[in-house]
Structure 1
Amino acid sequence: MKRGVTLLISLMLALCLVQGVAAADFVESVADVDPASGDLAPGDQVIVHVIVKLTGSGDTTFDTDDELEAYTELEDPEWDYTILVNSQGIPKESTSRYLRLLGWDLSYPDSNEVTIDYALVGKVPDVTQTSDLTLYRLRQMDANGNIPSGGELLIERTVINPEDVDKIRDLREEQLEELSTSIDEYTALGVNVVQAGELYTQADEKIDQSKTASYSQANVLLTEAGALIEEAEGSLEDAYSAKLIDDAQVTIDAVNSDVNYFINNRSMTGDTRVTSIQNKVSLAETQMSQAKDFRDNKDYYQSRLNANEAQLTANEALTMSTELREEIGEGGLLPDFSGLGTYVIIIVAVVIIAGIGFVIYRRFNKWDELG
């Protein structure tokens, strides 16, 4: 019994110690940044405008034990802020990175509408590497520094390190030079490089434009140039695969033309030599079909491998068909006896024997006539 009472009391104490999850006493209603988008560079001026509405905690608009802390990493910050109670308030200023408002200054009966209007102007600081910069951060914190659920508003933007931009430009110029070499090599192989050449020109123009643009704009231009170079490289790979596939198709078509000749012009259907050629060219067609599928999936390396295999197999089939044409000749007006094998030999032997017999018969008859 005592154990049961002790357990019940322990559970009640535990429940008393459990607190509900605290929620923020504000919501964002306006959050604007100028410039509105894009990366920033050291020295750029940034303007941030934020309005938050207090949502209340219990019977008041804000918890008196908490505070609102605004913060920025911008240099030389200039804050203009106003606590508006029912649209009325007195503007104030600050030049600190941190701007704190106590709960007592924000706590009003919940019948009131309380908003805080923050206007911030600052300059992007120098950075040693490209990284994210906190333009504006607003936190609700209790006496222990804890932040309730939804109690933080954060606005960040990437800041470009000028040295990184210069390094990226050097990299793009190296990539462009490599692309030029690839275009020359593929041209020598007979590959269609028209599209790759156009993309090369576009990338080159963007790299040149980046040399006189602001660092943030230069970063955008160099990113676009990188995408164009990558697209050009893909275009070359695609065009090369297409050429290998087309070349294999030419050889396959030549073999199929020979097979049609053997079957339709020389009546060699079922001839084992023709069947072997048909099997070989069928394998080449399968390999070429696989090459096309890999090309469609942009797996250009595998596409080229299969196209080369198709070409080798088709070459073997063409060699077989060429040798067979030379073996049987062009045929002329005489029917083709190739493939008849033993039957031809037997027929020829019978004709020869019959001819010899006829000659002997004539001689015997001639002797009889002479007596």
Structure 2
Amino acid sequence: MKRGVTLILSLMLALCLVQGAAAADFVDSVADVDPASGDLAPGEQVIVHVIVKLTGSGENTFDTNDELEAYTELVDPEWDYTILVNSQGIPKHTTSRYVRLLGWDLAYPDTNEVSVDYTLVGKVPTVTQTTDVALFRLRQLDANGNIPSGGELLIERTVINPGDVDKIRDLREEQITELRASIDEYTALGVNVAQAEQLFQQADDKIDQSKTASYSQANVLLADAGTLIEQAEASLEDAYAGKLIDDAQLTIDKVNSDITYFINNRSMSGDTRVTAIQNKVALSETQMSQAKDFRDNKDYYQSRLNANEAQLTANEALTMSTELRKNIGEGGLLPDFSGLGTYVIIIVAVVIIAGIGFVVYRRFTKWDELG
């Protein structure tokens, strides 16, 4: 029993020690970089200003067994740093990549306010490929080199390899050439390319500007150009799908006009040929609706497929309606009787027979009157 209690107490003590070592003894209160944003190019000067406030460990402002290590990957670093105790301190200077401060230099009674003010000036290193570089890294390290939770502050920035920028520019020039060809092709098809043309010009201007800009600026310009090219390509696809939909709609409207003529002007609402045309145009309208939905969802390929199908179906309906109008003629004031077939023949025969019978009857009646 006594061994069990001892074991539990030992575990609790170990947990307390782990928790005590798990928390960092500093927080950053200032972290500024100049340039403030964007990618960097080799040789570019960078200024980093960081102030960390020591938050304490036990009764001291910092753990005496730990150390505070600042590091940079910048070339030719110039460090100016000051340990401030109640806003007072002596500035120090170094050109090393590392600035290490021992815990004994940072541990003051926790009634004091202690902070460390770092100012770093350096140049961006040359890189063989575009990658992230540590401009400033601050770590709290214990005697074993371990870092407590929250015990690291890292400021990174992407550094551009000039060769990568040149490759991107070559790619953008290929893309802009292909875009020019697509715009010309769609123009020949009667597609409205006004928006794509405007985006093309903006992208082309940015590619030209990148040729005389710094590598970091060129990288931004070329990224913008890539976005504009993508927008122009999407605009072309949208405009092309829209044209196919509009063309099919014109054919559908023509067929519907013929159907209205057959029903209202020629009284052919029950004619099977008119019904067949109505069914055909209804299918075309369904395909048209699907084409519009795909276009709204930016699925331009499928939209074009459905619009083409709608056009083909509408063309078939138009051919049927055109042939029917030709067969029935203009019609004048009389309704069209074509399509009634056998019924018309029977009716005509009955009328003729009735007419002949009436004439014969009148003759016999006249003879009787004459005696």
> How much does 1:26 deviate?
0.6
Matched, 1:88 2:88: yes
Q: How does 1:1-371 map to 2 (within 5 A)?
A: 6-18=3-15, 19-21=17-19, 22-357=22-357
Deviation at 1:337, TM superposition (A): 1.8
- Indicate if the aligned counterparts of 1:133 and 1:157 stay in contact, CA closer than 8 A: yes
Letter in 2 for 1:220: V
- Partners of 1:367 and 1:270 in 2: how far apart? 48
**2:52 aligns to what SS in structure 1?**
strand
Tell me the TM-score normalized by structure 2.
0.94
Q: Give the CA deviation at 1:305.
A: 0.9
* CA drift at 1:193: 1.0
**Distance in 1 of aligned mates of 2:226 and 2:44:** 25
- TM-fit CA distance, 1:294: 1.2
Displacement after TM superposition at 1:117 (Å): 0.5
- Mapped to 1, the partners of 2:5 and 2:82 lie a distance apart of 52
Describe the superposition over 1:129-157 as per-residue Cα deviations: whole angstroms up to 9, x where unpaired: 00001000000110011111111111000
| Count of matched residue positions in the alignment of Structure 1 and Structure 2 | 368
> Secondary structure of 2:139's partner?
strand
CA distance in 1 between partners of 2:74 and 2:335 (Å): 96
Describe the SS at the equivalent of 2:93.
Answer: strand
Contact 1:268–1:339 (Cα < 8 Å) also in 2? no
SS at match of 1:232: helix
SS at 2:60 equivalent: coil
Which deviates more from structure 2 when the two are superposed, residues 72-81 or residues 329-338?
A: 329-338
Superposed CA offset, 1:268-292 (max 9, x none): 1122221121111111111111111
SS in 2 for 1:93: strand
How far the C-alpha of 1:210 sits from its partner, in A, is 0.5
CA drift of 1:7 comes to 4.2
| In 1, Cα distance between equivalents of 2:140 and 2:13 | 25
Q: Which moved more, 1:355-364 or 1:44-53?
A: 355-364
CA distance in 1, matches of 2:61, 2:229: 56
Structure-2 separation of matches of 1:287 and 1:163 = 50
The aligned amino acid for 2:136 is Y
Kept in 2: contact 1:268–1:338 (CA 8 A): no
CA distance in 2 between counterparts of 1:91 and 1:44 reads: 26
Please list every run of 5 or more consecutive structure 2 residues that lacks an aligned counterpart in the other structure: none
Deviations 1:40-60 (A, max 9, x none): 000000000000111111111
Report if the CA contact (8 A) 1:135-1:156 is conserved: yes
Q: Distance in 2 between matches of 1:196 and 1:121?
A: 45
Deviation at 1:341, TM superposition (A): 3.8
CA deviation string 1:39-82 (max 9, x = no partner): 10000000000001111111110000000000000001110000
Contact 1:291 1:302 in 2 (8 A): yes
State whether residues 195 and 232 of structure 1, in contact with CA within 8 Å, keep that contact through their aligned partners in structure 2.
Answer: yes
Aligned partners of 1:5 and 1:314: how far apart in 2?
A: 94
Note the residue ranges of structure 1 that are not aligned, 5 or more in a row. Answer: none
**Cα distance, 1:31–1:20 mapped onto 2, change above 3 Å:** same
Q: Deviations over 1:223-245 (max 9, x none)?
A: 11111111110110010001000
